[in-house]
């Protein structure tokens, strides 16, 4: 029986059903893949017999994965187990059975290959301006025949664009919402695109030289996938420079101020509800802020920066470790990703006023490290005093709030960022507000496909806020 390379699962199921109903024993069948010589019944399939066969659900799930393995023996092995199930109904739960163990291993390999495909396929933009739908293509070399079973995942994930995944085995395309499978192809020339730089920047930023484990890294991201992934170009250099960077990090490790036992007096009641000082006094007033306890352990208050009449104000959460030391917003890993995406969105960071909802770094000491802690609602509300004062001084036309803390400070609601992002809304003073993801959130997403999609969303939202800020009144 020759199995086609497209529709393999259905073809195997139909063939196996026909054979078992006709009581054809495993030793009388020769199975093969399309490219192999024809088997016993290629020209003379058996007539359907009378035997009704009930197959356990566990076997169906197993077969649905194993058929995509690249071992030519898989079809015969599956059929042998199917045959044995007739007389041994509990075979599926026999952990010592060698046939089943071999099938389970194949199932694992196929699932692993699907996982790698989801993680390492890199789409390039092949569309032309003016096309109704954006168009992307990717080249990938899967170990097993996983294009067909994985295509629905990509259709769900990237349903709003046309795409093709070209492989030497089978190629899938998704055009106008329809998946089509075709024979494999040779590698086509694909353009590099803007996201290549993003992936490389992202990869450099999440790389921690102090935690370098080359073997673990290569097992998670096997070398065979590297050549089609832009970010991997940076790996050899990062490995080479890791020891020097660790030394540098140790030298630069922050000294943690002693935790004060005494609580800071609550100033809220005495400070009033609206900043009434002049814009010129604001910088000094924020630097001296003791409205909540966060100033106790932070190195300094990190002030907003940018033109005092900027049309666009960008609000983050709070300074991170590097910002706390440098005294400037968004200069650490999140800032690097922000800069990269802003540039790609056509936004010159220098032209925007960049600030945070909370001005002091909140952290928990852990050894020599300071671990970021999200500010609580009370801290955000105390600091809103300064954010409101900055808004009154700068009078931006548009505010881009990155992350849940900024959304809380500006809308009183920090829920459902994914559902609320990406549209302009009007605040009480007529300022337009766009909510979006925080760059740190994107850096924390482990699934590369999800991370890529979230970065695209942030880039789009940056472009939207930028466009709105340029519009004449
Ligand atoms: N995250 C923020 O929200 N702000 C910064 O300044 C840095 C990281």
Classified as helix, coil or strand, 327 is coil
Q: Which of 305, 306, 335, 404 to mutate to test the pocket of ligand 1 (most atoms within 8 A of CB)?
A: 335
Is the CB of residue 333 below 6 angstroms from any atom belonging to ligand 1? no
Listing DSSP states for 133-199 in one string gives SEEEEEE---SSS-HHHHHHHHHHHTTTEEEEEE-SSEEEEEETTEEEEEE--PPPP----HHHHHH
In DSSP terms, 399 is beta-bridged to 313, 433
| Residue (of 421, 449, 441, 442) closest to 433 by Cα position | 421
List Cβ neighbours of 119 (8 Å cut-off, separation of 6 or more).
221, 447, 448, 449
Q: What is the pLDDT of residues 437-457, one digit of tens each?
A: 999 999 999 898 899 999 999
Question: Which atom, in ligand 1's list, is nearest to the CA of 402?
Answer: 3
Q: Is 294 helix (H, G, I), strand (E, B) or coil?
A: helix
CA distances from 46 to 17, 20, 75, 321, 391 (A): 11, 10, 17, 72, 80
Residue 319 in contact with ligand 1 by CB distance below 6 A? yes
Residue with tokens 């093709």: 164
In 3D space, the residue among 213, 148, 136 whose CA is nearest the CA of residue 179 turns out to be 148
**What mean pLDDT comes out for the span 189-196?**
68
Q: Is 323 in the pocket of ligand 1 (CB under 6 A)?
A: yes
Query: What pLDDT, on the 0 to 100 scale, is given for residue 268?
Result: 43
Q: Which two tokens stand for residue 79?
A: 């059929």
Q: Which atom of ligand 1 is nearest to the CA of 439?
A: 1
Q: How confident is the model at residue 426, as a pLDDT?
A: 92
DSSP β-bridge partners for residue 164: 137, 173
Ligand 1 centroid–CA 357 distance in Å is 9
| Pairing mode of beta strands 124-125, 134-139 | antiparallel
Burial class (CB in 10 A: 0-12, 13-18, 19+), 90: exposed
**193, two tokens:** 């695109």
Q: Nearest CA to 221 among 144, 112, 147? A: 112
For residues 115, 117, 119, 120, the Cα torsion angle rounded to the nearest 10 degrees is 150
Which is the closest atom of ligand 1 to the Cα of 330?
Answer: 6
- Span from the CA of 441 to the centroid of ligand 1 (angstroms): 11
Go through the chain and tell me how many residues it has. 473
Q: Which residues contact 282 (CB under 8 A, 6 or more apart)?
A: 275, 386, 389, 390, 393
User: What is the per-residue pLDDT for 210?
Assistant: 66
Say whether pLDDT at 260 is over 60: no
φ and ψ of 387, to 5 deg: -65, -40
| Global model pTM greater than 0.75 | no
pLDDT for res 212? 67
125-149 pLDDT, tens per residue? 888 888 888 888 999 999 999 999 9
State whether the beta carbon of 330 lies less than 6 angstroms from ligand 1.
yes
| pLDDT beyond 80 at 72 | yes
What are the φ and ψ backbone dihedral angles of 228, each rounded to 5 degrees? -100, 10
pLDDT of residue 266: 45
Burial of 261 (0-12, 13-18, 19+ CB in 10 A): exposed
User: Average pLDDT over the chain, rounded to whole?
Assistant: 86
* pLDDT the model gives residue 253: 45
Q: State how far the Cα of 422 lies from the Cα of 400, in Å rounded to an integer.
A: 10
Over residues 237-260, mean pLDDT: 57
Give dist(CA 220, CA 15) in Å, integer: 37
Q: Kindly give, in sequence order, each residue whose CB lies less than 8 Å from that of residue 419, ignoring residues fewer than 6 positions away.
A: none
Determine what percent of the chain falls in helix, strand and coil, rounding each to the nearest 5: 50, 15, 40
Domains of the chain: 2-117 (no CATH), 121-183 (no CATH), 195-252 (no CATH), 269-470 (3.40.470.10)
Distance 335 CA to ligand 1 centre (A): 7
313: CA distance to ligand 1 center in Å? 14
Query: Ligand 1, from 329, 402, 438: best to mutate by most atoms within 8 Å of Cβ?
Result: 329
User: Does 439 sit in the ligand 1 pocket, CB within 6 Å?
Assistant: no
Would you say residue 255 has pLDDT above 50?
no
Q: Please choose from 324, 330, 387 the residue to mutate so as to test ligand 1's pocket, defined by most ligand atoms within 8 A of CB.
A: 330
Tokens of 204: 């450099």
Q: With pLDDT > 70 as the criterion, what percentage of the chain qualifies?
A: 84
Tens digit of pLDDT for each residue in 414-440? 989 999 999 999 998 999 999 999 999
Backbone angles phi, psi at 170, to 5 degrees: -135, 145
3-state secondary structure of 214: helix
> What local confidence, expressed as pLDDT, does residue 203 receive?
61
For 167-192, how does the pLDDT look when each residue is reduced to its tens digit (9 = 90+)? 999 999 999 999 999 999 999 888 76
Higher pLDDT, 44 or 401: 401
Minimum mean pLDDT among 61-75, 268-282, 304-318, 326-340: which range?
Answer: 268-282
DSSP summary character for residue 459: H
Distance from the alpha carbon of residue 292 to the mean position of ligand 1, in angstroms: 19
**pLDDT band at residue 354 under the 50/70/90 scheme:** very high
Alpha-carbon distance of 143 to 69, in angstroms, equals 8
Q: Considering only CA atoms, which of 34, 138, 187 is closest in space to residue 151?
A: 138
Q: How far is the CA of 374 from the centre of ligand 1 (A)?
A: 11
Q: Judge whether 68 and 146 are in contact, CB under 8 Å.
A: yes
């Amino acid at each position: 029986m020759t199995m086609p390379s497209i529709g393999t699962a259905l073809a195997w199921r139909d063939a196996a059903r026909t054979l078992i109903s006709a009581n054809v024993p495993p030793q009388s069948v020769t199975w093969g893949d399309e490219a192999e010589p024809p088997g016993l019944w290629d020209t003379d399939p058996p007539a359907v017999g009378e035997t009704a066969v009930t197959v356990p659900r566990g076997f169906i799930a197993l077969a649905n994965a194993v058929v995509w393995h690249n071992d030519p023996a898989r079809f015969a092995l599956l059929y042998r187990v199917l045959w044995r199930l007739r007389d041994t109904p509990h075979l599926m739960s026999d952990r010592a059975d060698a046939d089943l163990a071999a099938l389970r291993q194949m199932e694992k390999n196929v699932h692993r290959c699907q996982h790698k495909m989801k993680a390492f396929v890199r789409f390039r933009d092949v569309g032309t301006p003016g096309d109704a739908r954006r168009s992307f293509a990717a080249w990938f070399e899967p170990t097993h025949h996983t294009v067909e079973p994985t295509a629905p995942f990509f259709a769900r994930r990237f349903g709003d664009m046309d795409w093709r995944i070209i492989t030497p085995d089978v190629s899938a395309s998704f055009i106008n919402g329809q998946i089509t499978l075709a024979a494999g192809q040779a590698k086509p020339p694909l353009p590099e695109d803007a996201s290549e730089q993003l992936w490389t920047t992202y990869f450099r930023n999440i790389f921690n030289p102090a935690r370098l484990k080359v073997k673990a890294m290569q097992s998670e991201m096997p070398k065979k996938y590297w050549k089609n992934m832009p970010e991997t170009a940076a790996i050899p250099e990062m490995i080479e420079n890791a020891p020097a960077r660790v030394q540098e990090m140790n030298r630069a490790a922050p000294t943690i101020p002693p935790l004060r036992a005494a609580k800071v007096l609550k100033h809220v009641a005495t400070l009033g509800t609206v900043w009434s000082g002049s814009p010129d006094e604001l910088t000094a007033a924020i630097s001296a802020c003791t409205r909540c306890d966060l100033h106790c352990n932070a190195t300094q208050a990190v002030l907003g920066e940018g033109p005092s009449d900027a049309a666009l104000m960008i609000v983050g959460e709070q300074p991170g470790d590097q910002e706390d030391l440098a005294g400037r917003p968004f200069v650490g890993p999140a800032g690097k990703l922000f800069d990269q995406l802003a540039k790609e969105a056509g936004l010159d960071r220098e032209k925007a006023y960049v600030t945070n909802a909370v001005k002091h770094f909140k952290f928990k000491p852990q050894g020599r490290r300071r671990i970021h802690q999200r500010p609580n609602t009370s801290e955000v509300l105390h600091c809103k005093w300064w954010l409101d004062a900055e808004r009154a001084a700068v009078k931006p036309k548009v505010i881009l709030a990155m992350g849940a803390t900024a959304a809380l400070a500006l809308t009183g609601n920090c829920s459902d960022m994914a559902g609320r992002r990406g549209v302009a809304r009007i605040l009480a003073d007529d300022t337009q507000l766009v909510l979006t993801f925080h760059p740190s959130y994107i850096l924390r997403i482990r699934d590369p496909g999800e991370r890529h999609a979230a970065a695209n969303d942030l880039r789009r939202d940056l472009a939207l806020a930028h466009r709105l800020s340029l519009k004449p009144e």
